[in-house]
A and B are shown apart, each in its own frame.
Chain A
Amino acid sequence: MDEFELIGVYEIAKLAGVSPPAVANWRSRNADFPKPAADLKSGPVFRAHEVRAWLRRRRGSDNHMKKDAVRVGLRLLEFECAVHSNVDDSHSAELVDYEATRTAGQAARLAMLIRGQDVIDDEQRLKKLAAIELGLSPPEYAAAMRLLMEGDLVEERTTRQGKRVLNEKVNRLIHAENYRRIGELWLSRDQRSPKEEALIYTLDRVIQSPAVVDQIDALQNLKRPDRDAVLELGGNAGIVDSVDEEKRIYYSPLLWDVSPKKLAAFLKQADQTSFSQILMKTKNRPGSDFTNLEDPLVVQAVSGGILPSYRVTSTGGPRVYGFSPYTGELLTCDEEKVILDKARALVACLRYGGEAATITRIKNPLWILKAITDPSRSYRLKPHSELKLQYGMLIGKQLGRIIQTPNGRYIFELIPTEDNLRACAIAKELLSYGEVMGEKDRDANAALHLVNGTIEHPLREVKVAKKKRAARADELAGLVERLQAV
């Protein structure tokens, strides 16, 4: 390799597989980025071998990051959604310390908003949409957009006729890839404050399982006032909360399908480490086999309702399948608990079919889900003698019905209501990823608004403050008359 080889920003971008603006950002943000060999009128030039060495070092640290980047990306999105929904003044002084985190979260929301657009030829329109859908001010939009460009999720270009357009490069199929890029960028930023780092890691810690505050590593390096501020913001945003009055054990209210009281009572006796391991295991494999439980902690968690479990009985004998509490924002009201309950029951039945069925074992539960959601098959499975028992639980949950055939076999048929189809979709997500990723920010969907000529009015609408006025004398007299009549 030639020691005297010189390269410019464009070549560095090609070398690293990023856009030239991303290289400019590296230069401004990383003090250890190689100094230019010369500053020419056409731009700086660098010694190629120094740049290559720097890129190698950077990639090395990337590999270390990648393990957590997807989760970090998800947490950033959840934090920003929570701030947007729950904090009254999203521009308060308290939030100044979380600027990098909020920008990354806003970038994640913006990415979800533009996903599927390919080309955005009217950025002003997008800015308005970001304001109306995500509450982003123009400076916030600009910062989020810069981050998306740095993460190669958006690309800016000029057409041959000189028009400036944006190319959207957000992954359509693998959501984790988008979260990974945002997470990596956040992790690679040097200027994020200790408080925001502590908040995201604390959220990630307690979203997996409740934890004693003294055992949350991310909080230990903070001074007492900062630690309190982090927990207070987490509480205000509704993402971190304590289960006990002494504020010793923290959990994430995103674990919404577990009662905090039950959790507190359980955690008083339980061994935190073992419980965390159990939660991890069930999270990695929704529908874990809990049939022959020997660990008293699991027995206690199941019987106490901390780990939802489902009993399936068929020709292979009874089996119990357990799930970790639900985390996320997809199901946000009590009515939707029913849908999650159906989805879990379905997963339990499919697990049974794969592990305990005596005649035919299910090779891929996703194929069964595909069959029962297929209108061309009338939402039915082929006749089988085991279906009556194996899917019996689903009748009680009004998810489907069993039909007996003349030769003594049974057909399972899904009742294709909206809720049941949604339960099947969640079951698919649980079986595929263990977590629902694609729908984290359901509000961020404004595809129609980006098509010129449609749905203009929300973009023009100015919210007029409603001023309260005192009732006029004649109105008051009318009210009094009505009251007297009652």
Chain B
Amino acid sequence: MSASEAKQERSAGKPSKKDQDLPLKLRVASAVAASGYYTRINVALSATSARGLADVTDVDVFGTRYDVTFSPTTIAVSCKSGESRGLSPAREIFYLRGVLDYVRAGNGVVAFPRKPVPPHLHDLGRRLDILVLSGSEVEAWCNALVNGVSNPGYFQESAYNEYLNMWARTDTGGLARYLRTDYWFHFDFRNLQNVVGHLKKAAPRLAGKEPWHNLVVLDTAAHLCLTLFDLCRQIRFMGLSEISETTAAYLFGGAPSFKARRDLYGRVHQLLSSTGVTSPGGPTLPPLEPSYTAALAELAVHFIDRPHAAVLVPQIVQDLLWRALGATGAPPRDDTNFLAAEKLTQDLLDFLKVAAGAASVPKVWR
């Protein structure tokens, strides 16, 4: 691997071997996840283009949760455990403000456990709507997040390393790289088809025989769920009665773009028919919409019908993943909302099985 490639990989979210901030990131991520956020570490905002991986930046800790209108509340934390003079809190605050705007995050936090931050920079943070924490404030803030909440034990260092190894030892084609980079860079309608498409390519190598095969599917399902929420929001805007129309249009970036593609498809179809290339009994054009569109609409209507339960799905997937990595997990609940959320999680996994042709998907319950 050349130096530039190594740099690209590092910036694409794959933590370098000398990630000095990792313990802090894990501590913060654990607290954010315990307080009900679907949480990830080292989220890369980088995209693959014809010229390779275009490096932008990354977010140290990224947590998101959704309300019943399927709108996200996002928190981004910048973790700097260094104490050198070169580390500038002001620069970090301005940098995080830009990142927050890019990822449409509402809440930003910069944490300097070993670096004293002068009072005027706290004021700067307040002006830019960023919480600046230094010294013991970092630990106090983390403790406050989990105060009274049982600690599910996510983001333990050994488990996190196992998680990284799981991805490293599984040959998933472009899936791993896609989920680390382009997914977060674009974070829009493109992700639905792309997540399914990448998993489809990796599916033959994920026969479910090894435990980490299920972990890969779970991690992919969590990503799919977040983008599915976006579809649910779109359908809600358009009206539930239009679900079939909206779902197909969403997959192509909206009604005008879908209509243009459909018209073009129609013209191509007409041309091929008139020239005898396609015939009723013979080969024909593949359908414009993916074959799973109906199943996707069905899944979306399940989510929309029960938004209180649906918004818990990423947390349940997260819990299943970390539990499989040895965490104690969230305490069991038997209220109807949570049971419905578990059922919707299984619906999501079953959809992945149908859409991506995965040989096996994990069961939410035994």
Contacts and interface: CB of A to CB of B under 8 A. Distances in A.
Interface of A: 14, 116, 118-119, 121, 157-161, 163, 165, 167, 171-174, 370, 452
A172 B298 contact: yes
A198 to B, nearest CB: 35
A158 B298 CA distance: 25
Interface stretch (B28-36, B151-159, B160-168, B333-341): B333-341
Interface in B299-346: 301-302, 305-306, 309, 332-334, 336, 339-340, 342-344, 346
> For the side of the interface on B, what is the size category?
20 to 34
Most buried by A among B242, B243, B340: B340
Interface string B48-68: 000000000000000000000
Contact of A173 (B298, B333, B336): B298
Interface of B: 242-244, 294, 297-298, 301-302, 305-306, 309, 332-334, 336, 339-340, 342-344, 346, 360, 365
B301 to A, nearest CB: 5
Nearest to A428: B241
A233 B126 CA distance: 80
A172 B343 contact: no
Contact of A163 (B243, B301, B309, B334): B334
Given A118-B309, A118-B340, A119-B340, A167 B346 contact: yes
Contacts of A157: 365
B302 A172 contact: yes
A173 B293 CA distance: 12
Given A14-B360, A173-B298, A159 B339 contact: yes
A14 B332 CA distance: 26
A121 B301 CA distance: 21
A141 to B, nearest CB: 21
Contacts of A163: 334
A271 to B, nearest CB: 29
B305 A116 contact: yes
User: Main SS of the interface on chain B?
Assistant: helix
Given A118-B309, A173-B294, A173-B298, A161 B334 contact: yes
B334 A172 contact: no
Q: Which of A160, A370, A452 is most buried by chain B, counting CB atoms within 10 A of its CB?
A: A160
A254 to B, nearest CB: 27
A165 B243 contact: no
A160 B309 CA distance: 17
B258 to A, nearest CB: 13
A121 B365 contact: no
Nearest to A157: B365
A161 B298 contact: no
A-B interface, 4 closest residue pairs, ranked by CB to CB distance from nearest: A160-B332, A118-B340, A119-B339, A119-B340
Given A159-B332, A163-B334, A173-B301, A118 B365 contact: no
Does more than half of chain A's interface fall in helix, strand or loop, or is it mixed?
loop
Contact of B343 (A14, A119, A161, A370): A119
A157 B244 CA distance: 31
A463 to B, nearest CB: 30
A163 B336 CA distance: 11
Contacts of B334: 121, 159, 161, 163
A116 B343 CA distance: 12
A173 B246 CA distance: 14
Contacts of A172: 298, 301-302, 305
A420 to B, nearest CB: 16
7 contacts: A118-B309, A159-B339, A172-B298, A173-B244, A173-B297, A370-B242, A452-B336
B365 A160 contact: yes
A119 B297 CA distance: 19
A173 B339 CA distance: 22
B365 A159 contact: yes
Contacts of B346: 167
Nearest to A169: B347
Given A119-B336, A172-B305, A173-B244, 13 more contacts: A118-B309, A118-B343, A118-B344, A119-B340, A119-B343, A159-B334, A160-B332, A160-B365, A171-B298, A173-B243, A173-B297, A173-B298, A173-B301
With most chain A CB atoms within 10 A of its CB, the pick from B302, B336, B346 is: B336
A158 B339 CA distance: 10
A167 B243 contact: no
Given A157-B365, A159-B365, A118 B302 contact: yes
A173 to B, nearest CB: 5
Contact of A158 (B242, B306, B365): B365
A116 B240 CA distance: 14
A171 B350 CA distance: 14
A40 B321 CA distance: 33
Contacts of A118: 302, 305-306, 309, 340, 343-344
Contacts of B333: 161
Contacts of B365: 157-160
Nearest to B360: A14
B339 A174 contact: no
Contacts of B332: 159-161
A250 B365 CA distance: 52
